[in-house]
Amino acid sequence: MVFLRLILAFLIYNLSVFCSVPIYSDSSKISKEFLDIAKSPEIFDWMVSIRRKIHENPELGYEEFETSKLIRAELDKMGIKYRYPVAVTGIVGYIGSGEAPFVALRADMDALPMQELVEWEHKSKTRGKMHACGHDGHVAMLLGAARILQEHRQSLMGTIVLVFQPAEEGGGGASKILDSGILENVKGIFGLHVSSDLPIGKVSSRSGPLLAANGFFEAVISGKGGHAAIPHHSIDPILAASNIIVSLQHLVSREADPLDSQVVTVAKFQGGSAFNVIPDSVVIGGSFRTFSKETFAHLKQRIEEVIIGQAAVQRCNATVNFLEKDFCPPTVNDEALHKHFQNVAGDLLGISNVEDMKPLMGSEDFSVYQEAIPGYYYILGMKNETKGKFPSPHSPYFEINEDAFPFGAALQASLTASYLLEIQSENPQVKDDYHEEL
């Protein structure tokens, strides 16, 4: 049976050559053709229109029903098969032979609970919600990549899996996608994020740790309330909380290896409602970030010990709650995929426009996929000084330079199509290592 499959594959390959179906022999041909297609007015204008429709109607995590409906309508028009729903509102599409090897592309769909302050024709129509992180652009570029790949589906040496993911901004969307088992046989996965700090036409990334693990904590410090004029009759939780916050900073400045980057931030402090009343309790909360799971676990333990211990010093009690459903592991890029990315991006953009970047303390739930699948995440530049300053993500003034879309769509399509070719060239019998279908 295996021998017959190999013979069939050989015949199909040779027939496709004589029938003028393009079979690519290297990534440079793929990249150049795909970028030309992505830059065409038809594809570019279409991606822009999709992005603006999504931007006008932002939806939070697991609420992306209209966004999902729009995506499915576009996939239907292109004749792309998909599964829905996956992880409540997610969609997983398939382009190619339907057989191994499988390589995935991922875009996040959710917006943020922010009021948009940018005044333009396609401003958010939903009060208190905004696409302030570029996910609307990520979806548009993935659909652009899908359109390019679907037009070349007969030349794909396997199957490309399109992952439209809900709830990246907290909520564990990637975990739900992964838990569904739908990516079980995927050999590699790629994702991107737009950046207002990197010039348009450039990309950046690195092998190994790229983004930090991220966790959240909340603590209730309980004392004994009373009148501000007689503090000795009270047990002051505000004083205890203040000492706790200072001590938490010592975890980084005095306990952490200076070469092992860590951040602890207390961003929430709630307690008291009058100028002359010591409250019974105070609530504090924050986040902590590291570049390794081991350091993350140690820091989590020490945060709890410090909060409880310092509260006791001030005669208070403390309870600590870690919001584990929102924990995010570090984003660690696969070394082999890094080399692949450099080659493909170099062919498409020119090697001088492919930059190595330093690790950032931000986090991304793309990292969840990377714990199960070799994965690669990179930054797509969109800065253009002639168009003014583009604010950073999570700002109510955030904007996207849509001129970056052709680069993102072409690169996503090129990375996967050429990776399928690379897998097949290294192991012609790869089909027999996996199930026939996902």
Distances in Å between the alpha carbon of 242 and those of 37, 221, 268, 271, 283? 58, 11, 12, 12, 11
Output the pTM of the full model: 0.90
Q: Quote the tokens at residue 104.
A: 């995935």
Is 193 annotated as ligand-binding? yes
The pLDDT score that the predictor gives to residue 430 is: 58
User: Domain 213-326 belongs to what topology?
Assistant: Alpha-Beta Plaits (3.30.70)
DSSP 255: I
Per the CB < 8 A criterion, the answer to whether 424 and 158 are in contact is yes
- What totals of helices (H) and strands (E) does the chain contain, helices first? 11, 16
Instruction: Tell me the C-alpha distance between 20 and 11, whole Å.
Output: 14
Q: How many CB atoms lie within 10 A of CB 429?
A: 11
Is 66 annotated as ligand-binding? no
Q: Quote the tokens at residue 247.
A: 């001590």
Per the CB < 8 A criterion, the answer to whether 71 and 164 are in contact is yes
Question: Where in the sequence of the chain do the CATH 3.40.630.10 domains occur?
Answer: 22-211+330-433
At 41 the three-state DSSP class reads helix
Instruction: Tell me the C-alpha distance between 356 and 342, whole Å.
Output: 10
At 77 the three-state DSSP class reads helix
Q: How big is the chain by its Cα radius of gyration, in Å?
A: 25
Sheet of strand 375-383: strand arrangement: 81-86, 90-96, 159-165, 102-108, 186-199, 375-383, 203-205, 354-356
The pLDDT score that the predictor gives to residue 26 is: 58
At 343 the three-state DSSP class reads helix
Distances in Å between the alpha carbon of 152 and those of 39, 96, 119, 306, 426? 16, 8, 39, 58, 22
Per the CB < 8 A criterion, the answer to whether 144 and 38 are in contact is yes
Q: How far is CA 75 from the centre of its chain?
A: 22
* Whether CATH 3.40.630.10 fits 22-211+330-433: yes
Instruction: Tell me the C-alpha distance between 239 and 5, whole Å.
Output: 73
CA proximity to 141, closest of 419, 438, 414:
414
Question: Where in the sequence of the chain do the CATH 3.30.70.360 domains occur?
Answer: 213-326
Per the CB < 8 A criterion, the answer to whether 223 and 237 are in contact is yes
- Rounded to 5 degrees, φ, ψ at 221 are -105, 115
Per-residue confidence in pLDDT tens, the chain, 438 aa: 434 444 444 444 443 433 333 445 556 778 889 999 999 999 999 999 999 999 999 999 999 999 999 999 999 999 999 999 999 999 999 999 999 999 999 999 999 999 999 999 999 999 999 999 999 999 999 999 999 999 999 999 999 999 999 999 988 999 999 999 999 999 999 999 999 999 999 999 999 999 999 999 999 999 999 999 999 999 999 999 999 999 999 999 999 999 999 999 999 999 999 999 999 999 999 999 999 999 999 999 999 999 999 999 999 999 999 998 789 999 999 999 999 999 999 999 999 999 999 999 999 999 999 999 999 999 999 999 888 888 999 999 999 999 999 999 999 999 999 999 999 887 766 555 444 455
The pLDDT score that the predictor gives to residue 429 is: 65
Q: How many CB atoms lie within 10 A of CB 273?
A: 7
Is 133 annotated as ligand-binding? yes
- Rounded to 5 degrees, φ, ψ at 57 are -125, 70
Q: Quote the tokens at residue 137.
A: 């652009």
Strands 159-165 and 203-205: unpaired
